[in-house]
Amino acid sequence: MSRIAVCAPHFTRVPQLRDELLAVYPDADFNDGLRDLAGDDLIAFLRGHDRAVAGTELFTDAVFEAVPELRLVAKIGVGLDSLDLDAMIRRGVLLGWTPGVNKRSVAELTLAYILTALRKAQVVNHEMRGGVWRRQIGHTLTGKTVGIVGCGQIGQEVVELLAPFRCRLLVHDVRAYPEFYAAHDIAAVALDALLAEADVVTLHLPLNASSRNLIGARELGLMKPEAVLVNLARGGIVDEAALKEVLLRQAIAGAAFDVFALEPWPDRELLALPNLWASTHIGASTHEAILDMGRAVIRNLADARIPDPSWIPDWR
């Protein structure tokens, strides 16, 4: 009989998911501390279990070394940057993963953040809280040029939601989706060209060594002064120190970020800037997405395979 360790607090706190998992795996153990486990605490919780449900916990080579009985990890959500895939491949640990399971939730929030940044709603909100009543003049989304960096499952969902706005669409991706591009009148361009031409730049790519700080000071310097940058992908893709400097100079119109390199993000000066709309990694935090992700995890506990390095491509 398999023993399941449910590490992810956002799975554990949903009674419906607990009941559905226990119906299949009655001996499952839950992280009822409702906090992310790390290091020795994670190892202690995993010991004696051959399968685990992982959220944002760091499953490093040291964790797999310390818990050799762990033979399968089912990942809730779509980001794999918290898992040492090389170690899993080397040790023969299976991965259960459903790409795109939360794509609608993330895409809807992306659209909301694009509109928020273009209309300078974050600036207005900041000023109102400080006692200033002033109408900021922003931009409509209709007819604008939107640059999408990463056009996989979430990027494509964003394209679908943008349809009523009749935007000009640019895409940069290391993978090609020619049929999708043709069907939606999308131009595939180099990253520098996208940054220089887009009124909105929105990021939808995975984080790995090749995409870390992909958007740095040089790349931010290519953006138009009236452009906005939206990141609901992963913290670390944008150099946040460079972003802070750009926002302080008002070299771009604004940014909307749901993710940061460190979470919680410690730089309160950045978070206090009026031209930054920031949130606490809530892209997939809807009741519907959490149920979809949790049910995918339950299925993946019985349907997993050795990770394939090609799942996370090289972005350089």
> What string of DSSP letters covers 91-143?
HT-EEE--TTTTHHHHHHHHHHHHHHHHTTHHHHHHHHHTT---------STT
Residue whose C-alpha is closest to residue 226's, from 121, 110, 118 = 118
Catalytic residue among 69, 160, 263, 288: 263
Which of these is catalytic: 49, 119, 212, 281? 281
DSSP annotation of 215 reads: B
Q: 49, 119, 204, 234: which one is catalytic? A: 234
CB atoms within 10 A of CB 166: 10
How far is it, in rounded angstroms, from Cα 82 to Cα 84? Answer: 7
Tell me whether residue 18 is one of the annotated catalytic residues. no
Question: E-strand spans in the chain?
Answer: 4-6, 29-30, 51-54, 72-75, 94-96, 145-149, 168-172, 186-188, 200-203, 228-231, 254-257, 276-278
Q: Euclidean distance between the first and final Cα of the chain, in Å? A: 44
User: Could you give the dihedral angle defined by the CA atoms of residues 17, 18, 24 and 30, in that order, rounded to the nearest 10 degrees?
Assistant: 130
Asked about 172 being catalytic, the answer comes back as no
Distance of CA 52 to the CA centre of its chain: 21
Active site residue 234: yes
State the catalytic residues: 234, 263, 281
